[in-house]
């Protein structure tokens, strides 16, 4: 089972969905212990170089409440910031210098900017810093330039900046993780598509390699069975045709198996082309199907993929004519112009046969359409005047010829 990195999503009470850090640097409990320890230090050490002072009961109470409230900042960041600012105001009202509470305010601002959108974080930060400065002015006589007041305001601003940076880092990690997962899904979909295409290609090649020869073997076996007593010479000819077709189909299957077993992923079975059209029609003639061919234009222009597809279309059409047609004859017309190769194969069919109910699985026709589509061509099959017609138009441009 494929593992996925969790981006971390949670829903907060007000209905907003926010991202949690997928790679937290510190466990939550350890961060809380460090924050509380710093608050204790700030409560007993006011300024560098001074002796450790024991805070009074009011300061201890306010600091304890501020530390306890911070434990819930992850769940309710904005309400907890309000609590911390209120405690800071109470300390200021009693003219108590409480750097630990000012630090708690900065931590609460960090939680807000870390867990809320940037716009919300900026607004809350401005309000909180304004309250820190305003409440400090009510308690201290040093004015807005009092070093302690400036320190508290800067601490709050730094907390806001760190929170925003942490949120940005988390969103960045979530974005690249999501992008990597989408890329992985795309690769898997592409791999499935390639496997599907390869299965179709193998099915088409196997059908092209086997269907015609098996048809020849089946028909000649019937002829041999019927003529073995009355016309032994005819039976011998049929058995010779069966032997030849068997060798041919075994050779073609062997070629396909060699390609499937090859280490080269780009290996493909060598395919026939229109240069071998005479051999194809000769084999059908030997099997008892009279084939006439008419060519208009230069067939050498239809090479590569177009030549292969045209050959396979003719092969499939002749195979069906041999199996299902009447009068044992078929006609091939090949026409080449500046734009396309047109292949038309016609053969008579029995008048009583309904074309829509023609025997067979029709997989050959499906494979024919798939092959024609690979070269951006079109194919039409159906009854025509005097028989059955297969017509394919294969462009010589836009990927037609290789």
pLDDT of 325 reads 81
pLDDT of res. 50: 53
Average pLDDT over residues 177-194: 88
DSSP 152-195: HHHHHHHHHHHHHHHHHHHHHHHHHHHHHHHHHHHHHHHHHHHH
Whether the Cβ atoms of residue 260 and residue 202 lie closer than 8 Å to each other: yes
Find tokens 């008048």 and name the residue.
351
CA 391, chain centre distance (Å): 37
> 230 vs 69, which has greater pLDDT?
69
Mean pLDDT (the chain, rounded): 79
Q: Quick one: which of 333, 344, 273 has its CA closest to 306? A: 273
DSSP 8-state code for residue 325: -
Please determine, for residue 38, whether its predicted confidence score (pLDDT) is greater than 60: yes
At residue 199 the predicted structure's pLDDT band, cuts being 50, 70 and 90, is confident
Does residue 399 carry a pLDDT above 60?
no
Does 105 score more than 80 pLDDT? yes
215-247 b/e (C-beta count within 10 Å ≥ 16 → b): bbbebbeebbeebeeeeeeebebbeebbebbee
The confidence score (pLDDT) of residue 197 equals 78
Question: Quick one: what percent of the chain has pLDDT higher than 70?
Answer: 80
Distance CA 120, CA 127 (A): 11
Q: 294 near 334, Cβ under 8 Å? A: yes
Question: Rounded distance, CA 343 to CA 306, Å?
Answer: 11
Q: Name the band, by pLDDT with cuts 50, 70 and 90, for residue 51.
A: low
Q: How far is CA 27 from the centre of its chain?
A: 35
| pLDDT(74) > 60 | yes
Q: Residue 379 in contact with residue 368, Cβ under 8 Å?
A: yes
| Ranges of each domain in the chain | 9-185, 272-402
Q: What does the pLDDT average to over 382-386?
A: 81
More confident residue, 236 or 270: 236
Residue 204 in this model has a pLDDT that exceeds 90: no
CATH topology of domain 272-402: Heat Shock Protein 90 (3.30.565)
Token pair for 141: 């006589």
> Are 84 and 108 a contacting pair, CB within 8 Å?
yes
Q: Are 108 and 73 in contact (CB under 8 A)?
A: yes
pLDDT exceeds cutoff 90 at 79: yes
Res 98 pLDDT > 80: no
Q: Given a cut of 80, is residue 34 above it in pLDDT?
A: yes
Q: In sequence order, what E strands does 206-365 have?
A: 290-296, 329-336, 340-347
Please state the rounded mean pLDDT for residues 353-368.
Answer: 59
């Amino acid at each position: 089972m494929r593992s996925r990195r969790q981006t971390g999503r949670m829903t907060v009470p007000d209905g907003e969905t926010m991202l949690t850090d997928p790679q937290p640097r510190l466990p939550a409990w350890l961060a809380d212990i460090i924050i509380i320890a710093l608050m204790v230090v700030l409560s007993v050490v006011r300024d560098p170089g001074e002796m450790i002072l024991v805070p009074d009961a009011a300061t201890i109470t306010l600091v304890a409440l501020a530390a306890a409230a911070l434990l819930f900042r992850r769940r309710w960041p904005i309400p907890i910031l309000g609590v911390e600012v209120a405690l800071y105001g109470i300390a200021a009202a009693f003219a108590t210098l409480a750097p630990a509470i000012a630090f708690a305010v900065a931590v609460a601002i960090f939680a807000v900017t870390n867990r809320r959108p940037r716009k919300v974080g900026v607004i809350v930060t401005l309000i909180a810093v304004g309250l820190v400065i305003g409440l400090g002015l009510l308690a201290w006589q040093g004015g807005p330039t009092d070093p302690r007041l400036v320190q508290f305001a800067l601490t709050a601003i730094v907390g806001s900046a760190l929170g925003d940076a942490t949120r940005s880092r988390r969103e960045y990690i979530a974005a690249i993780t999501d992008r990597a997962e989408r890329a992985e899904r795309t690769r898997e979909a592409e791999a499935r598509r390639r496997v599907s295409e390869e299965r179709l290609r193998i099915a088409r090649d196997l059908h092209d390699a086997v269907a015609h020869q098996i048809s020849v073997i089946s028909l000649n076996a019937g002829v041999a069975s019927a003529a073995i007593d009355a016309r032994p010479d005819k039976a011998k000819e049929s058995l010779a045709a069966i032997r030849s077709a068997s060798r041919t189909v075994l050779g073609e299957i062997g070629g396909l198996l060699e390609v499937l077993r090859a280490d080269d992923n780009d290996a493909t079975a060598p395919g026939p082309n229109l240069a071998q059209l005479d051999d194809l029609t000769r084999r059908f003639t030997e099997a008892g199907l009279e084939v006439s061919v008419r060519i208009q234009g230069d067939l050498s222009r239809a090479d590569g993929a177009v030549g292969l597809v045209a050959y396979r279309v003719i092969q499939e059409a002749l195979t069906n004519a041999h199996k299902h047609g009447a009068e044992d004859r078929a006609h091939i017309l090949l026409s080449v112009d500046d734009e396309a190769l047109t292949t038309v194969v016609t053969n008579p069919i029995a008048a009583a046969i309904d074309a829509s109910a023609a025997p067979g699985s029709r997989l050959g026709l499906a494979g024919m359409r798939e092959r024609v589509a690979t070269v951006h061509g079109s194919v039409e099959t159906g009854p025509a005047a005097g028989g059955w017609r297969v017509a394919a138009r294969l462009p010589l441009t836009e990927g037609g010829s290789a």
